[in-house]
Amino acid sequence: GQVLADTGSFAYELDLKEIGYDPEAYCLADAVMRVGDHKIVAFDNVSLRIPGLTEAAAKKGVGTMEAPLGLPPARPELTSVSGKPVYYGPQQIEAYCVGRPSEGFGGRYLPFDEQRRIARLPGQPFCFVDRVTELNDPPWILKPSGWIECEYDLPDAPWYVAANRQQDLPFSVILEAALQPCGWLAAYLGSALRSDQDLHFRNLGGTAQLLRPITAANQCITTRVRMTKVSEASGMIIQDFDLELYADGELAYQGTTNFGFFPSASLAAQVGVRGAAERAWVQNEGEAFPLESLGPPSPEAYEGEVLNEAGLLLPSTPYLMLDQISCFAPDGGPEGLGYIAGTRRVDPSEWFFKAHFYQDPVVPGSLGLESFLQLLKVFAQRRWPQHVDSHRFGAIALGRDHEWIYRGQVIPENEEVLVEAVITAVEEATDGTLRLQADGFLRCDGKVIYEMKHFCLELEPLLH
């Protein structure tokens, strides 16, 4: 039979024959379609499977049919520094970073527990989100959002402060603390569900400004982010964000950034920063020298270690992102203010590949930017040797915009990274503060994949 425009109504009847786990939940049924008293279509052995929903998961109460509207309930057993309710705590954050995503967000992410891969937040020791304390939008609806708020508790003696050998938090930690809530929000809004392909999550760039120093003396970093734009095309998703980072309640860092979700094939086809090879400065002469590797390579070796050094110091081994300086030219560059380049061999056993990300190892872009600032530190040591014991490095200069662009990645299969900086300004203030500003690029196996603009390193007298 058939259903025509004037049929009026029709009905389905379902005879459920079998239900169980194999190992995921499934059911088998026969069905018929009726018009009045007449059977017009018959279906035999119709099946349904729920990916990821095993019998064990079902007994734990992990469902897949959460209502799409409404905020998740707060968790009264958890507390926040601000006193706000906690919607997602350390266990849910860890589950998203390195565990079962369904335990971090709910049953809609069950397929990513075993069968599929989801874009993650970094795991320890490079995760800077402890809890989510403000939500203004329901989950699973991918659209521009209101603000969310996340908190990160600073340890009493952070390993990254001791390993970086400076009083202020490393720039890369500040940047990660600002960006990671963007990744959490993208997952909360269901980005991974928009494609049948597994997607990689990558930062594409941003512009921001550090407004005040953040040090190990601070106790809590609070980050507020909101998604301002979403666009989808050719299997990719591009998302824009506003971000604000507070240190113990005071605004310390703010800016804008954008991220992308990409299939593996799209990542593999990235061509790098367009036009960079033509814009890059070519320095024909300069001094080359190795950088000293100090201390053990494991971040765990620095946990609980109190920084008791001062001066213009380069980081210890786990935070030193350069092996050697390949070209130091104090009068190089287009303005004659200086040029410096450094290299690093890619080692698949490095700690950050294990932390960033689970099932998708890639060098954190923030550490690539850190290597650029380390070039400036070496340049500063050479330019102002008389101040090596009288000044200290800050994370990045206060009150000045800096911009970064990412158009590629460094993965364990790569061989070498080269970072280069052209000095664009040198300042010696009357209060003794010294500054170096530079633009530059990062190359991976010869391809320019990062661009840095207006990065300014600040050297402050120790008496301040």
Q: 295 and 432: one domain?
A: yes
Residue 38 a catalytic site member: no
CATH number, residue 191: 3.10.129.10
Q: Of 200, 356, 391, 402, which is the active-site residue? A: 356
Q: 203 and 352: one domain?
A: no
Buried b (16+ CB within 10 A) or exposed e, 193-222: ebeeebbbbbbbbbebebbebbbbebebbb
pLDDT(58) > 70: no
For residue 283, give its domain range. 276-461
What distance in Å separates the CA atoms of residue 369 and residue 321, rounded to the nearest whole number? Answer: 10
Would you state the pLDDT for residue 2? Answer: 76
Count of structural domains within the chain? 3
What distance in Å separates the CA atoms of residue 48 and residue 386, rounded to the nearest whole number? Answer: 74
What distance in Å separates the CA atoms of residue 352 and residue 126, rounded to the nearest whole number? Answer: 8
Domain boundary at 268, 290, 323, which?
268
Q: 338 and 226: one domain?
A: no
Q: 226 and 289: one domain?
A: no
- Sequence-distant (6+) residues with CB within 8 A of 415 are 345, 346, 445
Q: What is the pLDDT of residues 162-213, one digit of tens each?
A: 999 999 999 999 999 999 999 999 999 999 999 999 999 999 999 999 999 9
Check residues 377 and 62 and name the one with the higher pLDDT: 377
Q: What is the pLDDT of residues 356-406, one digit of tens each?
A: 999 999 999 999 999 999 999 999 999 999 999 999 999 999 999 999 999
Q: What is the pLDDT of residues 318-365, one digit of tens each?
A: 999 999 999 999 999 999 999 999 999 999 999 999 999 999 999 999
Q: 25 and 116: one domain?
A: no
What distance lies between CA 447 and its chain's CA centroid? Answer: 22
pLDDT(464) > 60: no
Length of the chain measured in residues: 464
Would you state the pLDDT for residue 59? Answer: 63
Q: Which two tokens stand for residue 353?
A: 């590949």
Q: Which two tokens stand for residue 185?
A: 């929000």
In three-state secondary structure terms, 271 is coil
Q: 337 and 403: one domain?
A: yes
Would you state the pLDDT for residue 61? Answer: 52
Q: Determine whether 35 is exposed, middle or buried from the number of CB atoms within 10 Å of its CB (0-12, 13-18, 19+).
A: middle
Residue closest to 188 by CA, chosen among 109, 127, 241: 109
Q: 57 and 74: one domain?
A: no
Q: 38 and 73: one domain?
A: no
Phi, psi (degrees; rounded to nearest 5) at 139: -75, 165
Q: 55 and 83: one domain?
A: no
Domain boundary at 24, 43, 61, which?
61
Q: 56 and 97: one domain?
A: no
Cis before residue 23, ω within 30 degrees of 0? yes
Q: 115 and 262: one domain?
A: yes
- Write the single-letter amino acid at 335: E
Instruction: State pTM to two decimals.
Output: 0.88
Helix (H) or strand (E) holding 186: helix 171-188
Q: What is the pLDDT of residues 237-292, one digit of tens each?
A: 999 999 999 999 999 999 999 999 999 999 888 889 999 989 999 999 999 999 99
What distance in Å separates the CA atoms of residue 412 and residue 27, rounded to the nearest whole number? Answer: 43
Q: 196 and 289: one domain?
A: no
Domain boundary at 26, 61, 96, which?
61
Q: Which two tokens stand for residue 316?
A: 């210890």
